[in-house]
Structure 1
Amino acid sequence: MKPMQREGVGVVCPNRYDWKRLEQFATAIFVRAGVSTRDAETVARSLVHADLRGVHSHGLARMPVYVERISAGLIDVSKAPVILRKAGATAVVDGMNHLGAVVGEAALQTAIEIAGKNGTAIVGVRCSNHFGACSYYAEQAIQKGMILFVMSNAPQTMAPTGGIRPFFGSNPIAAGIPAGSAPPFLLDMATTVAARGKIALARKKGEAIPKGWAIDERGRDTTDPAEALRGALLPIGGAKGYGIAMFVDILCGLLAGAGYGPGVHSLYDNDEHPQNVGHFF
């Protein structure tokens, strides 16, 4: 197999586009790759959602590697996610190694259905892939008048406090809370100081990154994005961010039955194994 598409390959330019046409374009690309029209529309919406929020590291720049992993057989778009268990206010969803946004959408709808009956829901997800920006799911819950707390683990990028080598991912967390006629509360954040995708985009544009974002392979602070990508990202708030990342990994990996720590495989630098990402709704 040829190597996966490198990070940050999306074209960065000041042009403006009709976002609906971008969704249609992305949908057509995924359909050509063998994805059903309904699932292709879901993934396209999630990517354009991130671009509309200005989070280009999680937007259409991710489309090439998604398509490459489908073509390489590392993402299976032939099997729909399934609910392994449902009891009371809890459920476990097996993503069947489908595209992450499709898996995330299935888990979200399961959580909304359960919460509608029980007042609350806890849904763990295993065997998934990169599922885009967490805010994509939080906004949908807000539109239903529900509070959503959603998180995901991710491939190794963060060095534990005092360490040099990566162990945890950027392990994002989001919270969405409706507020009636007022704007909702919506938090979507990585547990690293910056997402790896932002560093990859800085490298693509030939820009330096701020001090304190990352360290190089020898553990030295660096502003060179290439050195940072070979090294490790730093957690927010030092040991506090490291602890939150571990907490996310416990819920999304260990509790959900997904990969955790080194068991979550890279989206870009692994052409042999499915990612086995875990989520928690």
Structure 2
Amino acid sequence: MREFYVRDGAKRKVRHITIPDLHSQFVHHAVFNVIGKTIEKRNYFYDCGNMSGKGCRLAIKRTKRLFADKKNKYYAQFDVSKYYDSIPHKPLIWMLRNRITKDKPTLRLLWEIIKSSGKQGRGLAIGFYSSQYLAVLYLQGLDYKITQEFAPGCGYVRYVDDGIIVGGNRRVLERALYLIENYLRTIGLRIKGVWKVRKIKERLAPFLGMRFGRGYVIMGKHIMYRISRAARYAAGRKLTQHRASQLLSYWGTLKQCDSYNFRRTRFDPFVSISHCKEAMKNAHNRRCCTSGDV
């Protein structure tokens, strides 16, 4: 088993990554390529983290639509504190037994995987293939409670441990946050910081590195600075595959928000998207030729 630290995301958060040995990786993939399909079928559609075919793009698109709806006047946010490190093992295996499978050999194998990914009966290792599915499973009950009991009729989007609820009644959202906090406490988790309900017109909602207002989305400053630095650095330098891939990813981020002036002044003068696509195409062709020669 290998352990190391990386700085992740635009805010450069330090993440502790644990990579299991090759034999364990084979086992994790074999088990969760089957079990994962059942977990995905049970999942709330707008839980956009850790699931194939979803991601920030879907979460941003849905949140932007909710904020544009004039019936929605308020929003409430919550963030689960140290989510991966805080998941208790016994309630997790109980959920697997009651919702996914009752086969005893499979449950014993799942228990060994869970125990190996945490310490002292708590936590999932970032870097285990199994952890992304188990993290999704553990909050499926919360998604059901929010959509059916805590805040029915309100818009709700979650990305891993960050959630946002949008609605037209302030008291409903305040009650929902109170119930969410109590529910998380019963499953061994807690909300980070102090939660509040805010009016959409009064303050932009920070979510997924963006800031959402009534009918528009702007980037957070940390993402702006990072994209601007990358664009200036790429100007006049050799366009490698890694740099082309990075710039195309940033270009996709810019298309998801209202960034016309930023693109015109900070991105387009330094970056040619057609050249980036050409660099990626050439790199792909080289890999194909190399594999063909072998």
Give the structure-1-normalised TM-score.
0.28
Greater C-alpha Rg: 2
Give the structure-2-normalised TM-score.
0.27
Q: Which is helix-richer, 1 or 2?
A: 2
